[in-house]
Amino acid sequence: MPREDGAPVWDRWGCNNAGMGEEVSSGLDRRGFLGVCSIMGLGQTLLPGALFTLATQAKAQSSPLVGGGEVKASTDGMTKITPEMIDAAAVIAGISVTDEQKKMMLEGLEQVRKSYTAIRNLKMPNSVAPAFVFDPVPGDMVLDTVKKPLKMSAAPEVRTLAASISAGVAGDSDSLAFASVRELAELVKTRKITSAALTKMYLERLKKCDPQLHFVITLTEERAMEHAAAADREIAAGKYRGPLHGIPWGGKDLLAVKGYKTTWGAGGFEEQKFDYDATVVTRLDEAGAILIAKLSMGALAQGDLWFGARTRNPWNKRQGSSGSSAGSASAVSAGCVGFALGTETLGSISSPSTRCGCTGLRPTYGFVPRTGAMALSWTMDKIGPICRAVEDCALVLSAIYGQDGHDLSVQPAAFNWDANFNWKTLRVGYIKSAFDAPTLPADASEVQKRNFDRRVYDAKYAATALDELRNMGVKLIPVEMPDFPFGAIVPVLEAEAAAAFDDLTRSGRDKLLTGQLPFDWPNQFRIARFYSAVDYIQAMRARTLAIAEMAKLFAQVDVIVTPSQGNQLQATNLTGHPAVIVPNGIRGDGAPKSETEEDGALTNAGGPGTPVSLTFLGGLYSDARLAAFAKAYQDATSFHLQHPTLG
């Protein structure tokens, strides 16, 4: 997914995927080796682990990797594994195998291949999860499982909004469109506006803005108007369900909705439908919320480029909205939905919330069931709200969290929102090195110098945030992220994603995806097939150590303040910690320009008139108190009240 600073991806999931070494022991250079792989059809039939990437289902062809001459086929019709293949695979795996050992391996390797061939023949859909469940909770942690009544903030003053409605300008009233969920809820509850009128207003705005911003994949207009009418009848009869009753919302188009297409933003999936609703959709229906659109997402949850277009940033329509919750953030920012749901695996709520100036809540892993949502990484995917205010996020999370009996990763933990929680009791840390003044190497290139100017400019927003927190009476405790190779664990994401879309790669249908650059999924899925099962398990063992390191950090503080980028993003996504991302100001006219102003370019990001953000991190399942602290900062600064001017 594009980074908020404009680089193509979050450092390609935050790690250095240089791939193989420059040369292999057979004397074949890296380019030549990959060329042979291409000849053998590996682009379509890459096999699990380093060795099995060297055998194919394609018609046998002569190749230096199989000793030259005619290639023999095994009894199952696949290319017979040879000692030369083991040599090439051993280079990728970083091990050494003797001739005698190779002879001993051949029969066993053929048997292993038969086993995964049988598994492939099962044709498992994306909805089938592995028979293991990732749990980020340290063994000595006790979860709070006692659920308490929701405690919202005091009813907001909505006389101005009500007056605009009475004047008959609801259809084009920015003040109403950009109102918070808490404000909209008060208007609907007191029947100063109907859900039907609110739904119609947002539908009209979606239709008006979509040609510029490209954030809608499917409008659910018929469903929305039926549900809105039902909500109005219930409210009129005194059957008020709560703060989301009658509020229009949009969902990232990886959430299944019965009767509507669920495209995953990807070419080849444009007509895909499911005959059920995702759990979060069902729960929001039960809360009385009104689904009005399935919003755009980068193809298979990467970036902001989908099969129809690139979703745009309402603050600068020549920029992408970032992703992969591209449409969710863009639509909220543009005042076209009351709230939205996004998902995050490694930055997909954080990055577009930053780019579009929204408030995002990435919940603790295992808080919200993902049943009915596209799987990218079973051990990292999280569903969370993108809204205009922190309390809005808390109200949405209150409605969607909790066990559903299907997603076994979900814990019985409670999310008890209390808008009046005494946040002054919390120990607040800040990642000191992340707030230190940027430095520039003496031999910096021109590109580095331009990037440095932008970093220096943005750093003042971070420094001001610390000053504001101190003015609020917060005693900030300097901390640092653990000295741990978090980035080295990130390839587990790509390995799981490659498994989730195994058939896409093997069938060659990955060519239908819009993005085909080196950092896009088609290439990354192929690379992941060279990641061995042994290395995956070793990385998951390292993840256990990472969880322990982060537990030590959060034993010192309850909340951590940090810029929204940096290695905290990798660390907390891998260890399941929650985050709240809040707007932290708008760059002024004197801000350095973007690296490029090319329309839609990945490096077109930032620049005058665009938002910056701040992130608050919390301990596992401390989402409610984390949100209460973030709300206090948001109330003190009011940056979230700013919104883009749409032409």
Write the DSSP string, 34-73: HHHHHHTTHHHH--SHHHHTT--SSPP---GGGTSSPPPB
Residue 127 neighbours by CB under 8 Å, 6+ apart: 372, 375
Find out whether 587 and 644 touch, Cβ atoms under 8 Å.
Answer: no
Say which DSSP state 591 is in: S
Residues 172-201, buried b or exposed e (16+ Cβ, 10 A)? Answer: ebeebbbbbbbbbbbbbeeeebbbbbbbbb
Residue 166: burial class (beta carbons within 10 Å; 0-12, 13-18, 19+)? exposed
- The tokens describing 210, both together, are 């979509």
For the beta carbon of residue 612, count every other beta carbon within 10 angstroms: 24
Annotated active-site residue in 102, 200, 252, 382: 252
Tokens of 120: 């492939």
SS3 88: helix
Say which of 333, 348, 532, 564 is annotated catalytic: 348
For residue 511 the two structure tokens come to: 């060519």
Question: Omega of the bond prior to 322 within 30 degrees of 0, cis?
Answer: no
Q: Which residues pair with 310 in a beta bridge?
A: 305
Kind of pairing, strands 316-320 and 428-431?
unpaired
- Is 333 catalytic? The answer is no
Give, to the nearest 10 degrees, the angle between helix 390-400 and helix 623-637: 160
Identify any residues that bridge with 560 across adjacent strands, giving them in sequence order.
429, 617
In sequence order, which ranges of 442-567 are alpha helices (DSSP H)?
446-471, 491-500, 502-507, 521-528, 533-556
Give the residue from 272, 332, 282, 328 showing the smallest Cα distance to 301: 328
Catalytic residue of the set 324, 350, 351, 594: 324
> Catalytic annotation on 594?
no
Residue 75 CB-half CA count within 13 A: 5
348 is annotated as an active-site residue? yes
Radius of gyration from C-alpha coordinates of the chain: 25
The DSSP 8-state label assigned to residue 568 in this structure reads H
How far lies 354's CA from each of 133, 165, 435, 463, in Å? Answer: 31, 31, 17, 17
**What token pair was written down for 66?**
């199989």
Q: Is 247 left (phi over 0), alpha (psi -120 to 50) or beta?
A: beta
Task: Calculate the alpha carbon distances from 37 to 61, 398, 521, 578 in Å.
Answer: 11, 50, 18, 42
**What would the two tokens of residue 399 be?**
């409605």
Query: Identity (one letter) of the amino acid at 269?
Result: F
Sign (positive/negative) of CA torsion 8, 9, 15, 18?
negative
Catalytic center residues = 252, 324, 348
